[in-house]
Structure 1
Amino acid sequence: MKDGPNIIGIAALIGDHARAEVLTALMSGMALTATELADIAGVTKQTISAHLAKLVDAGLLAVEAQGRHRYFRLADDDVAQLLESLMNVAFRTGAVRLRSSPREPALRKARVCYDHLAGELGVLVYERLLAHGAFIPDADGLRLTGAGSAMIKAIGVDTAAAAGTRRAFCRTCLDWSERRHHLAGALGDALLARFEEIGWAKRSLDSRVVAFSDAGEQDLRLWLA
């Protein structure tokens, strides 16, 4: 059968080594320049320009000009969700890097998954909120209960503002390292932003690691208790 969208072109774009490195790097949620992405992918500036043009044309990346620089980021949440799903399949089938990064333990503990918290602590947040009755199943994924809203507002998150965005408000995302779910969507984004705002955690500038201070992790666990 030849019905429906053709995935061959998108699969070929993602399957290239340099472009896969670019897409993975942009899962940090940060916008990066072509020069930065060339260094990450290990190719020349001329080569990365051709790769980036293809990714933008395909709708996988968005680009924004600021002064003399052009910044590239993932086009939207759908692209991030696709990449996280591919990471899960790769991890499950044993397609891991031959050399583990020194950051590997830190990545497994807490990292950015596009714009929300993943890793051990991301899973902890979702599972403890679930245990407190914060969510119930919904046609669109999850619905925040009154108890959940009160608990999340207690740390200063504006749930109404998060719910007012055009994207999915509250959904789960399968965590590749924990093989359990963490919280995604606009609410997951708002929670991670709040963790940073109140000083519990800080994103690394050169990786996807989210570093919680000892006091910040203690406060996180107390909030979830």
Structure 2
Amino acid sequence: MVSISAIAQTASLMGDLARASMLIALMDGRALTATELARIASIAPQTASGHLGRLVDAGLVVRESQGRHRYHRLASPAVAHMIESIMALTTDQDTPHAPLRSAVPVTGPRDKALRYARTCYDHLAGQLAVEMTDSLIKSGRIELSSEGGALTDEGDRFLRSLGVDLDAARHRASSRGTRRVFCRPCLDWSERRLHIGGALGAAICQCYLDNGWIRRAAESRAVSVTPHGQQAIRELFPHDGPY
């Protein structure tokens, strides 16, 4: 049961300018570090950490660790809907019709090729990998969240039709002495959203290489998409924007 005190606590958290700035910055779905959010809110990183701790305790934000880094994202779509509702009810008194803006941090490598498509260990990463993952999720072929991932029956059939060796991937994941997970979420360094990792991610990457859809760049983790690959990806992985 929702209590009046809980409503008041949530409202007070949103009422702070620094915390509101950080929450709005997270509305695009990316996960950001405390340092990045501190820059957005124009406060010290230590102060930002304190604010984020309160937002995490209140269930508005979740904290995820990946390697040496800790990232923060909105806890659920319900939190995003709440922020959107508040934004819809508020207007700037000086410029009533001006859209609400928040500084957008640049994340990941500055090199455009690396930002677009690269390898992360042995699987695909970057904008291309995230958009293809989004397409697989939207089509119901994969289920992926920060807690884990699973390939659906439809996804199994679809990826096999592309030539992805799922049997070998499952064998690697189930072999003794390996810690490899078959399908796991990997938080993308530049996009700060999830792409597919684990043995499945590696098998997909190898399939794309074998199909001639992508090529590795010399002395770089960047990969280039071939003309044949561009056509195939557009047809097989539809999404809202251009690849």
TM value normalised by structure 2? 0.50
SS in 2 for 1:149: helix
The 1-side partners of 2:144 and 2:106 are apart by: 32
Whether 1:206 and 2:213 are equivalent positions in the alignment is: no
Query: Higher relative contact order by CA 8 Å / sep ≥ 6: 1 or 2?
Result: 1
Shift of 1:222: 1.0
TM value normalised by structure 1? 0.54
Shift of 1:93: 8.5
Shift of 1:156: 0.7
Match of 1:124 among 121, 127, 131: 131
The 2-side partners of 1:144 and 1:96 are apart by: 28
Check conservation: 1:88, 1:176, Cα contact below 8 A: no
SS in 2 for 1:173: strand
Larger of the two Rg values belongs to structure? 2
Structure 1 residue aligned with 2:230: 217
SS in 1 for 2:124: strand
The 1-side partners of 2:228 and 2:195 are apart by: 22
Change in Cα spacing, 1:96 to 1:164, as seen in structure 2 (3 Å) is closer
The 2-side partners of 1:187 and 1:211 are apart by: 21
For residues 106-141 of structure 1, what are the alpha-carbon distances to aligned partners after superposition, in whole Å with 9 as ceiling and x for unaligned? Answer: 001000111110011000111111111112369972
The 1-side partners of 2:215 and 2:231 are apart by: 15
Match of 1:165 among 169, 172, 178: 172
Change in Cα spacing, 1:209 to 1:144, as seen in structure 2 (3 Å) is same
Match of 1:109 among 103, 110, 116: 116
Structure 2 residue aligned with 1:154: 161
Whether 1:184 and 2:217 are equivalent positions in the alignment is: no
Whether 1:197 and 2:210 are equivalent positions in the alignment is: yes
Whether 1:136 and 2:153 are equivalent positions in the alignment is: no
Structure 1 residue aligned with 2:36: none
The amino acid of 1:165's aligned partner reads R
Change in Cα spacing, 1:95 to 1:185, as seen in structure 2 (3 Å) is closer
Shift of 1:86: 3.5
The 2-side partners of 1:203 and 1:178 are apart by: 20
For residues 201-223 of structure 1, what are the alpha-carbon distances to aligned partners after superposition, in whole Å with 9 as ceiling and x for unaligned? Answer: 01112111011113212211211
Number of matched pairs: 136
The amino acid of 1:114's aligned partner reads Y
Shift of 1:150: 0.7
Percent same amino acid among aligned pairs?
39
Alpha-carbon RMSD across the aligned residues, in angstroms, is 2.9
For residues 55-88 of structure 1, what are the alpha-carbon distances to aligned partners after superposition, in whole Å with 9 as ceiling and x for unaligned? Answer: xxxxxxxxxxxxxxxxxxxxxxxxxx62xx6497
Moved over 2 A (4+): 85-89, 92-97, 135-140
For residues 184-210 of structure 1, what are the alpha-carbon distances to aligned partners after superposition, in whole Å with 9 as ceiling and x for unaligned? Answer: 000000001110111010111211101
The 2-side partners of 1:95 and 1:133 are apart by: 29
The 1-side partners of 2:237 and 2:219 are apart by: 29
The amino acid of 2:129's aligned partner reads G
For residues 23-70 of structure 1, what are the alpha-carbon distances to aligned partners after superposition, in whole Å with 9 as ceiling and x for unaligned? Answer: xxxxxxxxxxxxxxxxxxxxxxxxxxxxxxxxxxxxxxxxxxxxxxxx
Counting only pairs closer than 5 Å after superposition, residues 21-60 of structure 1 correspond to structure 2 as none
The amino acid of 2:231's aligned partner reads Q
Match of 2:152 among 135, 145, 151: 145
